[in-house]
Amino acid sequence: MSFPIPLKRLRVVLALPAIAALVIGVFAGLARIGVALPGYFASLTIVHGALMVGGLFGTLIGLERAVALARGWPYLAPALSGAGAVCLLVAPSSLLGAWLMLAASLVMTWACFDVWRGQRAIHLATLAAAALAWSLGNAVWLTVGTLIPAVPLWMAFLILTIAGERLELSRFVPTPRWARRLLAAVCALLLIAATLHSLGLWGLHAYALALLMLAAWLLRFDVARRTIRTAGLTRYMAICLLSGYVWLAIGAVLGLAGALPVGDPLRDAALHSILLGFVISMVFGHAPIIVPALTRLSMRWHPGFYIPLAVLQITLMLRVASAWNSSIAWREWGAIGNAIALLIFFSMIIESLLAARDGKRVRREVSHGNSL
């Protein structure tokens, strides 16, 4: 497949719906917990999860997979999920957005299984299982007509994607074979439990147990335990990863205590311990590496990136603590702080990309002047 515009520009174009899904989805999430915002954002509360999981992460992960595969047709996945995000932003009650998300997830699943067939590695099987979880979740969404039953599968999509990438890195450190196989079994349990729950069967306690085992595995075997002793970007990434693993364990413990079913007063704390504490901490840690790889633009990391990370951790603790004292104010302020952390972080990403580009242009002009 050939493209009428350069690939670097195409990647930026495909990422734009993900950015829109992030910004508007964050405000929709705030409206969902009661923050007074314009009615447009309140109308999007029913698709908040779909915007964040499919519109944001589905598009960016699909784009990352397409870049890694270096083929044309996998770009259909981020193109379709981006189009689905736009549909949800324009007409949240329409099923077109859900159908586009399902099509995007099926393309990604096909691409991941195609790679796995060529190289039967455990981490590739885990990434394929992650894409399958997204497809199953989207199918449940369309079948049932509401996204709530799809949430465990959508979470599994994000969690298994992260586990697959960390499992790939474990090949470069001394990790026992039994440990790698154990992680694969835990990931399989997570997917099976999420699927059973979506079918109306048991599964949430097994799901939480799999999350706890995954957190324990990552805290024990992940390379971040070693790289935290270094400095600069490497240390920053390790802190992001380890803090994320702790939040995953917290969410798992809450799940084992029965916090995952709809209506439980601790559900918000459990879900966001995982989706914000774990997933977003992983995003903060990996973005300085992934963003330049996707955009082919240089990025300047600096210690200021610790600021949004610290804001995220502190405000998430406030949000989780609100579940115990039933403080609506704590929950709202914690959620607002979470949103501020996200917006600060992605503003810093854009600023760093622009600063690196300007620095490159200045060096080019200086070099041209010297040549004259």
How far apart CA 267 and CA 273 sit, in angstroms, is 10
How far apart CA 312 and CA 341 sit, in angstroms, is 5
Q: Mean pLDDT across the stretch 322-329?
A: 82
Lowest mean pLDDT among 95-104, 267-276, 363-372: 363-372
Return the pLDDT at 362: 44
Let me know: does 342 contact 280? Beta carbons within 8 Å.
yes
Task: Compute the chain's Rg from CA coordinates.
Answer: 20
Return the pLDDT at 6: 57
Q: Mean pLDDT across the stretch 212-231?
A: 92
Q: Which of 9-23, 97-111, 195-209 has the highest mean pLDDT?
A: 97-111
Non-local CB neighbours of 193 within 8 Å, separated by 6+ positions = 152, 203, 204, 206, 207, 210
Task: Say which residue the tokens 């799940």 belong to.
Answer: 255
Let me know: does 348 contact 304? Beta carbons within 8 Å.
yes
Task: Say if pTM beats, i.e. exceeds, 0.85.
Answer: yes
**Amino acid at site 145:** G
In the DSSP assignment, the letter for residue 173 is: S
How far apart CA 272 and CA 48 sit, in angstroms, is 13
**In this model, does residue 133 exceed pLDDT 50?**
yes
**In this model, does residue 4 exceed pLDDT 70?**
no
Let me know: does 149 contact 140? Beta carbons within 8 Å.
yes
In the DSSP assignment, the letter for residue 73 is: G
Let me know: does 31 contact 41? Beta carbons within 8 Å.
yes
How far apart CA 125 and CA 130 sit, in angstroms, is 9
Return the pLDDT at 359: 55
